[in-house]
Amino acid sequence: MRITQGTFSFLPDLTDEQIRAQVAYCLARGWAVSVEHTDDPHPRNTYWEMFGLPMFGLRDTAGVMAELERARGTFPDRYIKINAFDSTRGVESMRLSFIVNRPAREPGFALVREEAAGRAIRYTIRSYAADRPEGERYR
């Protein structure tokens, strides 16, 4: 099951050329681009691990693309996303965030039913990948 999250979640995965164009847009706006990764595919998992520090003061996309290549080399089977942070006073938050790398096989989610008080049933989802400890998922 293909996980989607962030700005272009309704589109097919972006090619490197398209990623570069998006990054160029971010840099032209003066946003700081950062790379993050995770192997926990839960939709509520919004705090991913940072891959290096956010890149402030960049002028050209080549720096971001090199960093992304390094991230892909280190974590080929994890989700990787690119974030753009706007430091303008009063905004100071992410403006753009999209997935740029995903594992080859995404096993999807199980529906979990929990018996609650009375005869109530609570539903939640659980990723098959998350059955294994962190770092061993998607191998």
Task: List residues binding another protein (CB under 8 A).
Answer: 52-53, 55, 57-64, 66-67
By C-beta, is 69 or 134 nearer to another protein?
69
- Note whether 8 and 92 are within 8 A (CB): no
**How do 79-86 and 93-101 pair as beta strands?**
antiparallel
Q: Of 112, 138, 107, 114, give the one whose Cα is nearest residue 126.
A: 112
CB of 87 to another protein, least distance (A): 16
By C-beta, is 21 or 125 nearer to another protein?
21
CB of 22 to another protein, least distance (A): 16
- Note whether 82 and 64 are within 8 A (CB): yes
DSSP class of residue 44 equals: T
By C-beta, is 50 or 110 nearer to another protein?
50
CB of 36 to another protein, least distance (A): 16
